Structures are given as C-alpha cells and as structure tokens.
Structure 1
C-alpha cells in the first residue's frame, strides 16, 4: 500500500503513488512516550508552530500565503495512541499537473520547512505572547470536557479503571501541566521533538517517487535517533468485585458507562475477532444493545459499545434515566451473555462484517484516511491492505464470537446523574 523509505534510523518516509486524487497530501508525525507533562507541552507546541513562523510572523500572513497556493490546507494537531503521543503536521495542496503554472508542491514543502526549522522566535525563544495565548487555548480544550457530560463520564470511567496508565492520560495533558509551561521549557520540547522523536512522513498523490525521496532527504535532513516503540503490555485483570461508582452533577439525563476488561488487545492474534464481537454487541444500529436496550425495551436514549483495543477495554455507553440504572445494567449484561451463549444469527454476523468492511473502505476514499488507517495498522503488518483485514473479519465464526465474549469481563459500573432535589 505504501512504499517505505528509511531516511535515517528512526526516520521513515512512506509514499503512496496514486492517481486517485488531484492533490498531494503530506503528514509528518513525531512519536514520543506518553505522559501528562510531555502531552501538555507538545499540545501547546503544535498550536504555537501552526500559528506563525519567521517567514510568516503573523497568522494572517501565513493564511494569505496558503490561499495564494490555490487554497493549500495546513494544520497541526496532537493526539495519542496506546502509550505514545503523536504530533502531526498536515498539508494538502493541488498537484502541479493540474495547473497551468507549477511550483505549488515545492512552495508547500518550503512552507513546512519554515514551520519546522524557522519558528517565530523572540530573543532566542518562542514569543511569550503567542505561548500564553496557545496555553489558554489548550486549557479551554481541557476544560471543555466538563461541559460535555458524555465525554466527562467516559473520562471518569477510564480514570477509575486504569489510573496511572496511558489509557487515562489526555493527549492535551493536565491543566496544571499546561499552566507550568514557559517559553524556555517549550523550546526544550521543540528541540527534543525534532532531534529525538521517531518520525514518520507520509505522502500520497501522483508523484515521482525517486524525485520526491530526493527532495525530502535534502529539505528535511533529520538526524538519526534511537527512539524505540514498545507496545503497551495489557495485563489480564482479575476482577474480584465489580466496582460501582455513582457521581452527581447538575444535569438531566444520566450517563452510564459499563467497563469490561479483556486480554485481547490490538497486538493479540484475535484482535479482528474482537472487533467483530464488539460490532455485534453494540457497534452498529443492528447490534444487540441498540435493538434490545434502546428499541425493544426503551431503556436508553442512546446506547452503544466500543473497543479500546490498545488498553484491553470494551465499554458500553448509555444515556438513561438514573433510576433505571440497575435494570439497564442487567439488560446490557444479558446482551453480552447472549454472545457468550452463541445466540447470534448469520444475519447479525454478516451485517457486522459488511459494515466494518464499508467503514474501512470509505476511509480509503480520502488520502488522509489512507494515511491514518495505514499509520495504525502498519504496526501489525507493514504490507497491510484493507482487503487483508476484511478477509480476517469474514473468517470469523459464531463459535469465535462465543470465545471472544467469554473473555469480556465486567469490571466497573459508572453512573453520572443529576443532583437530587
């Protein structure tokens, strides 16, 4: 799917030559270990680098330059995957082949050079006014989770299930860590990111591979680095007693989170089987949770399940009336029991596989989607293709579903509901 070129130790270029798009899409990714302090610094850094640089000292100047390059798209973001933190620089420009005048791609690459190697420094460090502004932006992003009760309940469930674990670390860090950032500490983070992070560069479009590789090597001469990516070990959790945690806030609808542990993680050979199992349980509109908890019994306003494969967690999210918590949890448990007993028909299985297949195929309709899917699955197979994964889903049997469901163990019941009058 992608051709890999090792530029330096720890620095890889992935090229996908395709005539599918009239644009060239680029994504530079810096990968480091995940912790609250670094997550906070790197989230702010991505905002600061996106804001301006020495060649375009004002944000308005940078945006004008992008517009002049036929609406070239540029943005940076910070995220997490498993036990790593990822800063991404993304740019998409029109392919010169579709223009009467060329040079747009080269100018886009020069702009990336400016963003990375010519920061908007004052007195040898980042502009303090810009740093403080972007600190405020990230803090507002962190605080916004408290206004979204579903997201807050989800966060609280993971905090309780996996404290002091990457599963409960935000990609933005904590408000306290963001507050502590200075121009000097941000400079240290910037230098460390460029010199020590693992770097993956993705480029998708109708391009000359040899010419492109030569340009990237000459324009982005990153030094070799020793960063090693160690998969997060998911330990088998022995649940002696199911935890029940009820919390109250000023709100109307109750937010129920039911957390389960499973030893089947992303790197487990049965990972595709667990994906299908979760799909049948609550991943789609035909799932057992949706059909029975919401449609048949009207027990929940919304209900679905998700599989956090990197952390070995399956969880159910439901919007309910708080007084129905016990009945809802019982009914949710019955849907999982149905899977454990093999009460799954061929139509449920076939629909789930079809919807999983459609979701990954639709991701391939965009260059960005191709990059993100491959960037995840290449750790399982560098020759990954959507067809390979779809074939694994199609091979899943009802007996496999029974086995997977038997490895999903209830660990916590968390309910966030309104205050009593």
Structure 2
C-alpha cells in the first residue's frame, strides 16, 4: 500500500474500512505496541460507552472467557492486552491495546505482530455472545463493577471534589459528564442496549489504528487493511467538536459538606487555548511556573512558604481549554489559601517571573517533551490527543517552541485566564 501521507516518523494510510492507520517503524524498542481508538461524543450514551470495553475484555467469540484470553496472550510470548474508555475534551474514546514482542526478536520470524493485530480486531469487533448479542451475564457483572467504581469516587475526596467542580463549572456542557458515565445512565444499560451501542460504534464511529515498534510500515498496512475490513462499516459519523469558547461571568462559588478532616479546594479557569492555538506552548509554560511542577509557585509558596496547603498544584485540559487548581487545605484556611493563590496569579500577570523560574520550567518542559521518545505509549497517546484539536507537532518542533518562550509570552497568556468556578469541599457543621 502507498502511504496517504507522513507526519514525523509516522506513515499514514487510509484503510479500506475508513480507518486511518499510523505506523511508526523504530528500532528503539523490543516490543510493538498496537492501539485502536474508537471515538464518540461524551454526550452520546456515555454510560453504555464507558462499560463497553470492560464487557469486551471478558471474552471473544473464539475465546469466550478471560482464562482463554490469558492462554492466548501467553501463547504470543507474553503479550498484554487491555481496553478502557477515556474522556478527551468532549470526546469519549474507547482504546483497545495489545503490546507484544517484535517478530525479529523471536525464532523464525514468528508472525507474532500479525497475531497481535488479529487479536486486537477480535477484541474490539467479535465479542463473546449468545447468538443474539452480548452475553447478559457479562453485561450485568460489568455494570455492577462500573456502578461500584462510580460510587467509590466519593471515597477519594480529591477525585470527588475535582469532578464536582467540573460538574458545576460545565453545567449544560457534555464535559460535565464523568468518563465512567452516570449512575442513572448505568441503571438503563442492558445486554440489548449495549449490543446496539457496540454495533453502532463499529459501523459509524471514527477509528484510528496506531502501530509503533520494530515493524515494516508497508507490511503492517497490508495486514491491517485485511484484518480491519469490517463487513458493516458505513459512512463515518461526524463527532461534534468540543465546545471551548464559553462566556464567563462572575466566578461562582460552590461549597459542599462531607465527613472530611481536610478541605479540598478546586478552582476552574477558562483559558480558551487549545493545542491548535499559537499560545499553546506559552500556556504550558505558564502552568509550569504557576503549579505544574515541584518548583512551581503553588507548591513552593502556597504549600511550603505559607503552609496553607498539604498539597497544591495545577493542571491543563488543552482539548477543552481549562486550567484546574487543586489544593488539600486546613478547613479553616480556605479564604487565606484562595487569596494567596489568586495573588500568585496576579504576580505572574504583572510580569514578576524570575529568570530562575523561567529556566527551571524550560528544563522541566524540555525533559517532559523528550520523554515522549522513550515511550511508544506516550507518543501515541500524545499524537492522538493533539490530533483531536488540530495542534499536532513533532518533538523537534515542540522543543523549539519551548526554547523560544519568553517572559512576556507567559505574562500575556496568564492574562487570558478567566476564573469560572471555586469549589470547596469542607466538613459537616
């Protein structure tokens, strides 16, 4: 097959089943990683989508139990397989993954990678069933497991506070939904409804297949075009774009009470900056100065110097255009902690960023960017996430942008942040 294009070290192919294939031939790794992404909108049956990969991992038509799957993977020289659902912006993404030893490291060029690709397709497409659809016992068991996982969120106070802040901040937006779905949605999942959801995704969902490791790109493309030629693959559906530009009024405050000994403060900012925007690297740099690393303001000043927090940091969601601040604090220090965090932001906006902060952040970002080269999993995940918002860069391009960031770029992007929501989880009175 002839590649449809190339990006960095990835050869891009259009398969006959309207699946895009990305192949990265590299001798850096002994193993080959294969990953299939199946994408839908987070507002479209999220509970069914979230439980589906767990049901599919229970068994396939050829290998209807987890024990049979384990035997098959052992026979592939200890290959590993998994599947899950993730939230990337307002995309709900199913990911199927097989990691296997490359053929050239095995006796007689064993065809191990081809078998891994066949099993990847089998896992995603050909589940264990009862003749009419998915096995009802598997569906019921995995719905119960998913329900317990959602209920367990409340036991992780940090995760719970983060989710509750997002729900308040993004009320009415698809992003408010957790990647595991909702308890109400799970109550409606049946073997019949999940079978229909699975078939609909196979027929119309955008799919991308990634292969990285010691492989020949053209041979992989030929195998993939044969293995992934589904019988009922229809026109690919258009998944609604993630909503980024949302009006922000006066910051809302949400206070909730639980049995806690430590308060959880979460602050949600709208950045309006995604991977595709020219300020993307400057925003990452700002986050590095503000709260993304151990040398950042929130850790050094809020936690260490002021002693206001047991933990403090910030993170970006660049597909949705959000920056979230998280802090575990003394129950009586909410007002002071909020004041100091906002003061640190204003300090950066005023240009009070030291050379030491700039260089520490530049070093940390450079190391993190280069680390992608050491992990096929990180490289594939990073490329896929950036493709969803149109901001794909090579590692070399990203490193040049990091090197070019100046103090004024950090100040400018800091001024774009708009505080949307302040959430505080505190003790019951």
The match for 2:130 among 122, 125, 149 is: 122
Which ranges of structure 1 fall in alignment gaps of 5 or more residues?
none
SS at match of 1:371: helix
Q: Distance in 2 between matches of 1:58 and 1:221?
A: 25
SS in 1 for 2:374: coil
Q: Count the aligned residue pairs.
A: 418
Q: Does 1:141 align with 2:174?
A: no
TM (normalized to structure 1)?
Answer: 0.95
Name the structure 2 match of 1:87.
94
Q: Contact between 1:237 and 1:261, CA under 8 Å: does it hold in 2?
A: no
Aligned counterpart in structure 2 of residue 201 of structure 1, from 206, 209, 223: 209
Once residues 70 and 324 of structure 2 are traced to their aligned partners in structure 1, the CA distance between those partners, rounded to angstroms, is 41
Match of 1:402 among 411, 415, 419: 411
**Residue in 2 aligned with 1:231?**
241
The whole-number CA distance in structure 2 between the counterparts of 1:313 and 1:369 is: 21
8 A contact 1:289–1:304 mirrored in 2: yes
Distance 1:281 1:131, change over 3 A: same
**Secondary structure of residue in 2 paired with 1:12:** strand
Checking the alignment, whether the CA contact within 8 Å between 1:293 and 1:299 is kept in structure 2 is: yes
SS of residue paired to 2:34:
strand
Q: Where does structure 2 lack aligned partners over 5 or more consecutive residues?
A: 1-8
* TM-superposed deviation, 1:341: 0.5
Poorly superposed stretches of 4+, deviation over 6 Å: none
TM-score by length of 2: 0.93
Q: How many angstroms apart in 1 are the aligned matches of 2:323 and 2:218?
A: 44
C-alpha distance in 1 between matches for 2:99 and 2:274: 33
1:163 corresponds in structure 2 to: 171
Query: 1:328-407 maps to which residues of 2 (within 5 A)?
Result: 328-379=337-388, 384-407=393-416
Q: Please, which moves more after superposition, 309-318 or 210-219? A: 309-318
Residue of structure 1 equivalent to 2:63: 56
For 1:117 and 1:381, locate their aligned partners in 2 and report how far apart those are by CA, in whole Å.
28
Shift of residue 248, structure 1, vs aligned partner = 0.9
Alignment of structure 1 residues 36-47 onto 2, 5 Å: 38-47=45-54
Supply the RMSD in Å over aligned alpha carbons: 1.7
The residue that corresponds to 1:108 in the other structure is 116
The answer to whether the Cα contact below 8 Å between 2:10 and 2:24 also exists between their aligned partners in 1 is yes
SS at match of 2:364: helix
Q: Is the 8 A contact 1:340 1:405 kept in 2?
A: yes
Q: Output the CA distance in 1 between the equivalents of 2:178 and 2:388.
A: 22
CA distance in structure 2 between the partners assigned to 1:207 and 1:131 by the alignment = 36
Matches within 5 A, 1:160-199: 160-199=168-207
Contact 2:13 2:22 in 1 (8 A): yes
Bigger shift: 144-153 or 313-322?
313-322
